[in-house]
Structure 1
């Protein structure tokens, strides 16, 4: 009887394999399900049928998405109603394991310094615009001069979170990181010249979007770099001498998005919903299909010290414990830091993410508003969308920025920062061609949508009665311009009737820092800060969207 059962199982297994091989499985075979044609490229069309799963990019850990209550705090001493609880759903994504460190940021500065030497007048503002503001450590009644000189560059602080970085600088770091990772992938895969990773030529820079949209224009149009790898040479040889001479025929010589080789998404700042969800680390509090509400901080429980027998009483984060108490009494009861602490000084949460409370507060992508408009959207919530498209030049090709047409923005503090970099595709606002008859968006700039735009303002009238000077958020309007002599003309808003600091240029910051009391360690708390300014207790980390399946593991019945 046992032999008969074994035989049945064996036969069923063979039958299943045969069914899968005949196209009954979930994966593509070498023939199309729609037409039966070959999809390996023999007939021109090629489909990557062996793509398995998205790998975590350097520095990132996987965060499986789900539903959670955003904005729920245990205490609300501020009584400002800016974190009213609402139910949100977040797609799976990847998050930096730690905050971006001084060492990581210095790597970018070294690259910029090599490509755009600050001693060259035309490049000086590029490097200066990327350097963190080390003067954030100064205090008029405190001595911190050694921090202003050493914190960013001295090797003892290499594994400490970078501070003095504005939101704009953090975004630029994410963009730079995306291009460097993708450039290395192309080199490692043998498609581009290996020597290019050490090259420092402002006229021959790699940009991911340019490569995917117009690969012949990347590296300043130097095709010998783009097609200078060993695999490219093999592809040229396999195509034959005749095809190799036809420069217009580039089939298979460049990596396209369909190949699945480059990063499927870019490094970016996490949204507020993603950051809060990752900080909560709800994994250990799941009971069947509901969450047990026992969390106040990113770790389990209601207290800032550990309750386990092994390390009972140890601090679980770096924060201000009271007036004049930034670390505790020297010795065992100290939290290990008076300012910032090295990354991974404390245990990670259930997602494997470190320092989601304490150490430094962190920039997130969102424009700040006192409310989260869950009535309009409760899926991947984010306020700050500004939709753009690639600019097309007179020759019908996409317009790529060169060293001669770099544009700069003058920030409210008078600092210049490059709006675009050589090798990037110039972006313009979307227009009627993209918005006509659409129901999901009708404008380029959506930062004010349903909260601060003309339609939602209490001053809103129809027709000619709209007064552009009457705004929902009556914030200061400073004007900073640069004259022909290079000097700044700073015109501060001296009005004494301004009622708020909220506008479209302030961003949400999350998480408590070494300067904050316990209340701000709660992941649901939220504050805001001007996007072009920086602080000594404010850093950031990167995130990346996940494409494809929500989970990395298949689900199985609990019982």
Structure 2
């Protein structure tokens, strides 16, 4: 068991994990302007796109919150100039069927399915930490549960998340569930290591945060959402939580939990589900100070790969990666992470019911 998995399991067990935890910044502070963006001529695809992928032309953009986004969280600011080279990207999230083929050919076992070694775990925990009961120290993952009544404190995540023994990509809602008939749903309960293993097998890689956001924006320089700024179009463009979170989902968008891939319109680059459905891994470390550092540099960041090290001011012990895109649990009253600039910090070994991934392929990759 890796040290990070040890840390993650312990904090998950006691609900000390991060999720949409930065409070919305309602100030009117200007965080950048699209008027200063100098677009370069989109680069042409070097070859025919691999099956299931589309070419994302390189270009320059303002990464981070747009000025008119009053739901933007502090860690989405300040906006800063970034340039990314062109790359190929999956048009949709990796599906259960695709992941199953990877498992069949490699025999890979995901982190949610691996046995937990307490002797190894306790080496990474504070001295004197009591061993949880053996009934708890079993493989599993985080599963969403509705609450029976209104929740006054939306920052107490333990109210709607539970560690479910037996939950995994094959059993997304717990051991009594399965993925029969859901081959075209996005695979979930995927830890960072699992996503990387799939990428290696497929000859791909995970996108950087900058690449992911550039692709989601699809050259809509001022827009909060990939379709524009009209929030009334949310239910027709993304799988999110509509209704009172986490009590009742009205399913105005047609789904209560995960939706099949390509259930909603694609963006202008031809990508589906770049808002809602499930969160997606990027390769970047999450560092609270990273955006500020890039902005203060005053230069256009060329193909940034994220912070050199992880740091979360809300939890200095955490070592987290950036995930993007929001999920079926994102609500206007909670974090509204179906916005293009929305981001979240998550432990690399944390698999969850609303976390998956998609892959990219660089022009210079074999």
TM-score (norm 2): 0.65
Mark the CA change 1:81 to 1:532 in structure 2 (over 3 Å): closer, same or farther. closer
Asked if residue 97 in structure 1 is aligned to residue 79 in structure 2, the reply is: no
The equivalent residue for 1:274 is 211
The equivalent residue for 1:383 is 306
Task: For residue 523 of structure 1, give the secondary structure of its aligned residue in structure 2.
Answer: coil
Is contact 2:96–2:186 with CA below 8 Å preserved after alignment? yes
Mark the CA change 1:69 to 1:128 in structure 2 (over 3 Å): closer, same or farther. closer
Asked if residue 328 in structure 1 is aligned to residue 241 in structure 2, the reply is: no
The equivalent residue for 1:527 is 344
Task: For residue 172 of structure 1, give the secondary structure of its aligned residue in structure 2.
Answer: helix
Q: CA deviation digits over 1:451-478, x for unaligned, max 9? A: x8xxxxxxxxxxxxxxxxxxxx5x8xxx
The equivalent residue for 2:59 is 66
Task: For residue 104 of structure 1, give the secondary structure of its aligned residue in structure 2.
Answer: helix
Offset, 1:59: 2.0
Mark the CA change 1:503 to 1:379 in structure 2 (over 3 Å): closer, same or farther. farther
The equivalences for 1:305-316 within 5 A come to 305=233, 315-316=236-237
CA distance in 2 between counterparts of 1:130 and 1:320 reads 25
Give the gaps of 5 or more residues in structure 2: 1-44, 115-138, 148-159
Task: For residue 544 of structure 1, give the secondary structure of its aligned residue in structure 2.
Answer: strand
The equivalent residue for 2:106 is 112
The equivalent residue for 1:355 is 273
Is contact 1:174–1:542 with CA below 8 Å preserved after alignment? yes
Offset, 1:528: 0.3
CA distance in 1 between counterparts of 2:227 and 2:188 reads 24
Asked if residue 345 in structure 1 is aligned to residue 263 in structure 2, the reply is: yes
The equivalent residue for 1:195 is none
Is contact 1:327–1:336 with CA below 8 Å preserved after alignment? no
**Bigger relative contact order, structure 1 or 2 (CA pairs below 8 A, ≥6 apart):** 2
CA distance in 2 between counterparts of 1:56 and 1:326 reads 41
Give the gaps of 5 or more residues in structure 1: 1-51, 114-125, 179-266, 286-290, 307-313, 385-446, 453-472, 476-498, 549-559
Higher share of residues assigned helix = 1
Radius of gyration: which is bigger? Answer: 1
Asked if residue 515 in structure 1 is aligned to residue 329 in structure 2, the reply is: yes
Is contact 2:141–2:352 with CA below 8 Å preserved after alignment? no
Mark the CA change 1:130 to 1:148 in structure 2 (over 3 Å): closer, same or farther. closer
The equivalences for 1:215-226 within 5 A come to none
Task: For residue 156 of structure 1, give the secondary structure of its aligned residue in structure 2.
Answer: coil
The equivalent residue for 2:200 is 175
Is contact 1:130–1:169 with CA below 8 Å preserved after alignment? no
Q: CA deviation digits over 1:477-518, x for unaligned, max 9? A: xxxxxxxxxxxxxxxxxxxxxx64256731001111100124
The equivalent residue for 1:318 is 239
2:189 pairs with 161, 164, 177, which one?
Answer: 164
Is contact 1:165–1:538 with CA below 8 Å preserved after alignment? yes
CA distance in 1 between counterparts of 2:63 and 2:346 reads 20
Offset, 1:157: 1.2
Mark the CA change 1:78 to 1:523 in structure 2 (over 3 Å): closer, same or farther. closer
CA distance in 2 between counterparts of 1:326 and 1:357 reads 21
